[in-house]
Every structure is written in C-alpha cells, then in structure tokens.
A and B are shown apart, each in its own frame.
Chain A
Amino acid sequence: MVNHLTSGSHFMRGNEALAEAAIVAGCRFFAAYPITPASEISEHLAKRLPQAGGIMIQMEDEIASLASVIGASWAGAKAMTATSGPGFSLMQENIGYAFMTETPCVIADIQRAGPSTGQATKCGQGDVMQARWGTHGDYASIVLSPNSVQEMFDLTVRAFNLAEEYRTPIILLADEIIAHMSEQMVVPPLEEITIVDRKKPKSTDKAFFDGDGVAPMPSVGEGFNVTVTGSTHDEFGVRFTADPKIHRVLVTRLVEKIRSNVELLADFEAVNVDNCEVGVVSYGCASRAVYEAVEMAQDRGIKVGFIRLKTIWPFPEKAVEEMAQKAKNIIVPEMNLQQVFFEVQRVVKGAARVTPVNKIGGGEMVTPEELFSVIEGSVGER
C-alpha cells in the first residue's frame, strides 16, 4: 500500500507540496544534487519516497542526476529531478537527449537570481528562455509555471501526466518564493486525481519511435530488445547519422507533437479578458501581485484584464492575441529583464502597446502599488 498524502486540507511549503505531488503522480525514482532553493525537495523525498517503495539517490552532479532519471524512466519508473538555474544549465544536454529519445521525465527548476551564482537564496524568474531554448538543436519544450503551493501540487501531477502522455521531458518552472512559502492547499480525494501512464507496446510491436504522435514505450528488461539512442534514428531506434530524410522526419515529428498540441497544452487563468482596456500577462511569483493591482484599478473604474500563464511553453499565443483585440495596453510584470515581455510583443504584432515591468535582485517582488501605478499611467496614454 503506497503511503500517499491524505486527501483534504494541508498547510505546507511549496517544495514539500511538489514532492508529495510527485508521489501521488506515481514518481518512484528521484535523483538530484543539492542546490538552493530546491534542496528541500530532495530532503523531503529522501524520507518519503522510500516509504512509498521508491528510490531517492543524491548523485554527484546535476548531469548525473538527470542521466539516472533517464535510465530509471527506461527501466519503467516515473522519475524526476529538481534543481535551480546553475544545475538546470548542467542538465541541458540531457534534456535534449530526453527529448530526442522520447523519455518521459520531470525536471523541476526552482528559479533563483542569476546568471551564475548570482544571489543564490533570492528569487528570480530568469530561466524562462533557458527552459525554452536551453538545449542545442531543434526542439520544443513543455514548461509549466505554478504560482501557489496548491499549484505546486496540481502542476507537478500535471507535469508527470504530460511526460507520460507526450513521452517528453516536462519542465516545472517554479521559483524561490513559491517554493519556500507556506500556504493552505487541498488534496482532492485520490480517486478524483487523474493519473496518466505511458502507453505500453503489444508483444508483437517492433517500432517504438514513430507514428503521427507518440509511440508506445517499452521498458528495458521486457524482451523488446529496444535500442535507445540520442543520435538520429529510425522508427526501430537504429542510428542513421547522415540520412537527411530520417533526420527531418524524426525531428519534425518530435517538434510537431508539441507545437500542434498548443491548444491542448495551453493552461492559463483569464480574468476580465473580454472587457478590458488594459491587459496584464504574468506568471509565477510575479503574478501574485497582479490580483490586488487589478482590484485597485477596478476601484478607480479602469477595466483591467489579466492572463496568468500556467503553461509558459508552448506559449498560449491565441489567448494573448485575443487580449490584444480588446486591450490597447498590455503590461508584463516579471522578475527578470524582459523574457516573456518579448514573447508577448511578438504575438500581439503591434495590436497593443506592450509595457514591461521588471524587478531583479534581492528577491524583491513587483508590488501591487508599483504595478497599479503602471496600469494607471498606461490609461493616461490612451
């Protein structure tokens, strides 16, 4: 009997909620290297995962951490690692490998202020583009962004489900503030939580890297003689290092299985988007100031719409495009120097003026007052 967190209300830290959600989602292998502000995930799972019959091992670095997660996944386990920006950088080569070999796994990046060691204990949101473009070559990524302890739980479960469904690495892009704050969260009755498991092959199946979307995935040791390689390969996993067509077919399929499902993957909270003169697009910790700023603006008769991204990549273009049909100004608060800002600007194609609100350093968040003053100022520019 697996030892799950009980259904009902809990008061927890974000990192603990993430760890508990992993167990609920079926994670049975976790490997990581110590790093602030993600270490509590390791510490919590070191205690809790063995109670659930799973294995936690602290590896020698982040490269080995993700590598062992990939091995565990091919051995049949749902597997995860957790890190922060510098460790996330070390993982980038194997993220590309997991994408290329269609290995389901979850990578939690608890962002802090970078680049480099930066301010290791302070919050930042500077890994948005690293999560999208960090590895080399052509690829697409699925990146989720929680903004509460509740969503650390909910989106971790979703991350495992998407990894299994799409056979691809999923990045849970959290941040120090969400990871280290404690809040109430509610665990639904376990039978109401959707758990997705990878599609398994029939005993006669031979091709595990093909199809219009996602092929069934065998595990090693099941008698399929599966060949897994990060080199360009055909549907049987056999390496072709020069054939142009096999490379085009493979990489295009891998990118398209994510790109063509942008509407299914899109996940966002939309408030007053149908009737707004000013829009706000935000995510993660920075988005927590928006609710109050929106209220302050509405009290003064300003119609403000708000899109909060729960999936950052693939970018939910349609929702932002639609907002730009109503709002003449779109404000993008984030704890970095304009990462999602440029994406919003690209998507609205000049239909709205896009204004960045950025704050970095010391873990200081954009305050509701600061954001409100930008909202108010933007109305004056009408």
Chain B
Amino acid sequence: MSKASLSSYLRDIRFPFCAGCGGTTVATVFLKAVQELGHKDFQGFVFCSGIGCASWIPSPHFKADSIHTTHGRSIPVATGVKLVRPDLKVVVFGGDGDLVGIGLSHLIHAARRNLDITVVMVNNMIYGMTGGQVAATTPMNVKTTTTPYGGFEGSLDTARLVATAGASYAARWTTAHLVQLRESIKKALVTKGFSFVEVVSQCPTAYGRRAGFKNAGEMLLWLKEQSVTFDEAEQLSERELEEKIVVGEFVSRILPTLSERIQTVLRKAKKQ
C-alpha cells in the first residue's frame, strides 16, 4: 500500500467522528483506493451525500466538489449531475438510514437504470447521528433506543438487492476487510454503470453500547468473526445465516449504462 500522504485530498477540517467510528476507516480506505488508481487530486470527481454520519465523509472534508443533499436524496441529485455531465465521476457516500431507510427507492431505481455512478454505503446497522434508533439494517432482536425489548423486524440484504435490481457491480465487505474493501472500491470506481460497495461498519457509540459490546475493537472482531464468503454461506442453514454477514462480490458485469442509452435517444431525436 502506498505510504504517500492522503492530505492532498482533504480540506483542513477535522472529521467529526467518534473515537472508534468505522466512518474514518472507510474514508481512509477510499482515499487510498483513489490514490492507487492514480488520481493526484479530486479533479473530475463530484461527491453527493445525504444526511447522517457517513454523509459527512466527503462534505466538506474532501477537497472536491460536493453536494450535501436532503436526507435520502443524494442518489437523485447525483442522477441530475451525471446526466448533465456524463464526463464527471460521481460518487455517493451515505449511511444505511440515508440510502436504504428513507432513500431506498432511489437506490433501487438507480441500479435498475444502471446509472453510471459509484455508491459507498457505510452500514453501521443503526441511526447513529440521531442517537441509536433501529434501522432497516439492524439485525433481529438487537436492542436500540426505539426497540428497548429487542428488534422485531427483519433486516435488508442491500448488496444482494442492488445486484438483483440491475447494477453492474455490487459488493459487501466490513471495516475488518481493509484490503478487500480497497480493491472493491477501486473496481467500483472503474466500473461502467452502477457500482455499489456496502461496508458493514462499527458504531461503538450508538450501536455497540446497547448491543453489549465493550468497545470498538470488540465490535471489529465480531464483524470479522461473523463474516462468511459465498462458499462458506452455502454450507450454512438459513437459521445459521441470519447471524452472519456474507461478504464478497455479488455481481460484476458489463452492461449498457444509462448515459449510453440516453446518448442513443439524443441521436434518434436529432434525426427527427
């Protein structure tokens, strides 16, 4: 891994994340991936993010164009940017609350359209910024501030959902898989079409405390232990899989992108 400084990608503003937050890890791994792809700075990149801790990764910390949108709407804003400027690399950062809670429909539709953007979802399985309320990604039975007796709803398998909806690329890793995550982000950034990287991440403050973890390290170890590959998952029953985090690439394929399809429409229209 390159030892070169990542500070050239950052403004001189400190990340506001709690000690032990996985968001800082995701930010660092993302910057290393960008560096390894040979980008000296963020020229040609645009970042869109919604509301929540993960949305603060690019805005305003990345020395880049960034649009910090309303809650859940980073993907449709990114859609407008990308359709007008298909030459720009548009990257969305968001948490699970933002992207699969309030904004889920936009994620599915962007995958269906194969909109040529990259989405990095930091899945901390909780609404962290608002203090630890249950999310669409919180595992069954976990205690949160709004499920004091334990959760009673199923959780969403987002990377699989995005792959099914029509994305070019979808992968899931955790903050305990630094190398795989970096390689996956690199692959997502060079993929034509909709690329999605889910990072299951620790939130020691709003999740770990109530879920019975002593500290961030313990959570990280738990993420690592719970992770299984596709091959390993095949050997497990549905019941056993409920406790697990399936990691790896869910899909990686070449498909026509929304921008390409729209170019065809523009050519047809001009002939009329």
Measured between beta carbons, the chain B residues less than 8 angstroms from A28 are 84
Interface of A is mostly: mixed
Q: Contact check, A224 vs B65: say whether CB atoms are below 8 A apart.
A: yes
B1 at the interface (CB under 8 A from A): no
0 or 1 for each of B159-194: is its CB under 8 Å from A? (1 = yes): 000000000000000000000000000000000000
Most buried by A among B80, B84, B88: B80
Q: Is the CB of A71 within 8 A of B77?
A: yes
Residues 65-116 (chain A) with a chain B CB within 8 angstroms: 65, 67-77, 79, 93-94, 97
Contact at B83–A63, with CB atoms within 8 Å? no
Report yes or no: B79 in contact with A57, Cβ–Cβ below 8 A: yes
For the complex, count residues of B whose C-beta is within 8 A of A: 40
> What string of 1s and 0s marks CB contacts (under 8 Å) between B69-97 and chain A?
11001011111111111011000000000
Residues of chain B within 8 A (CB-CB) of A195 are: none
**How distant is the Cα of A68 from the Cα of B258 in the complex, in angstroms?**
14
Given A68-B79, A238-B13, A29:B67 Cβ within 8 A:
no
Q: Which residues of A contact B87 (CB under 8 A)?
A: 221
- Min CB distance B47 to A, Å, is 9
Q: Which of A19-69 contact B (CB under 8 A)?
A: 28-29, 31, 47, 50-51, 53, 55, 57, 59-61, 63-65, 67-69
What chain A residues lie within 8 Å of B272 (beta carbons)? 51
Q: Assess the B81–A71 pair: CB atoms within 8 A.
A: yes
B70 to A67, Cβ gap below 8 A? yes
B270 on the A face (CB < 8 A):
yes
Please, what's the 1-or-0 string for B81-117, where 1 marks a CB less than 8 Å from any CB in chain A? 1111101100000000000000001100100000000
Q: Does A227 contact B (CB under 8 A)?
A: yes
A230, B105: Cβ atoms closer than 8 Å: no
Minimum Cβ distance to chain B for residue A80 (Å): 12
> How far in angstroms is the closest Cβ of chain A from B226?
33
Residues of A within 8 A of B6 (CB): none
Which of A55, A59, A226 makes the CB contact (< 8 A) with B262? A55
Instruction: Identify which of A68, A69, A70, A93 gathers the most chain B CB atoms within 10 Å of its CB.
Output: A68
A239 interfacial contact with B, CB 8 Å: yes
Residues of B within 8 A of A61 (CB): 105
Interface string of A210-248 (1 = CB under 8 A from B): 000000000111011111111100000111000000000
Per the bound structure, the CA–CA distance linking A126 and B96 in Å amounts to 37
**Stretch binding the partner chain, chosen from B31-39, B56-64, B148-156, B230-238:** B56-64
Which residues of A have CB within 8 Å of B106? 60, 64
> Which of B13, B106, B269 lies at the interface centre, i.e. has the most chain A CB atoms within 10 A of its CB?
B269
A63 near B76 with CB under 8 A, answer yes
B68 CB–A CB distance under 8 Å: yes
Q: A221 to B44, Cβ gap below 8 A?
A: yes
Say if the beta carbon of B4 comes within 8 Å of chain A: no
With A28-B84, A77-B84 known as contacts, the answer to whether A220 contacts B65 (CB < 8 A) is: yes
Residue of A65, A93, A221 with most chain B CB atoms under a 10 A cut-off: A221
Which residues of the partner chain A approach B44 to less than 8 Å between Cβ atoms? Answer: 221
Assess the A60–B109 pair: CB atoms within 8 A.
yes
For A220, list chain B residues within 8 Å (CB).
46, 65, 67, 81, 85, 88
Query: In the assembly, what is the distance between CA of A378 and CA of B87, in Å?
Result: 65
Are B63 and A225 interface neighbours, CB within 8 A?
A: yes
Q: Flag if B80 contacts A71 (CB, 8 Å).
A: yes
A50/B81 in contact, CB under 8 A: no
Asked if B48 is an interface residue, CB under 8 A from chain A, the answer is: yes
Q: Which of A79, A224, A226, A230 has the most chain B CB atoms closer than 10 A to its own CB?
A: A230
Question: Quick one: closest B residue to A94, CB to CB?
Answer: B70
Asked, given contacts A221-B44, A225-B63, whether A68 binds B68 with beta carbons under 8 Å apart, the answer is no
Add 14 more A-B contacts to A71-B78, A72-B81, A219-B85 (CB < 8 A): A31-B79, A53-B270, A67-B70, A67-B77, A68-B76, A68-B79, A71-B82, A72-B84, A74-B77, A220-B65, A227-B60, A228-B66, A229-B67, A230-B68
Write the residues of chain A forming the contact surface with B, with a CB cutoff of 8 angstroms.
Answer: 28-29, 31, 47, 50-51, 53, 55, 57, 59-61, 63-65, 67-77, 79, 93-94, 97, 219-221, 223-231, 237-239
Identify 29 residue pairs between A and B in the complex whose beta-carbon atoms are under 8 Å apart, listed by A's number: A29-B84, A50-B265, A50-B266, A50-B269, A53-B270, A57-B83, A59-B109, A64-B76, A64-B109, A65-B76, A67-B80, A68-B76, A70-B69, A71-B76, A71-B80, A71-B81, A71-B84, A72-B81, A73-B80, A74-B80, A75-B80, A77-B84, A223-B43, A225-B42, A225-B64, A227-B65, A227-B66, A228-B67, A228-B68
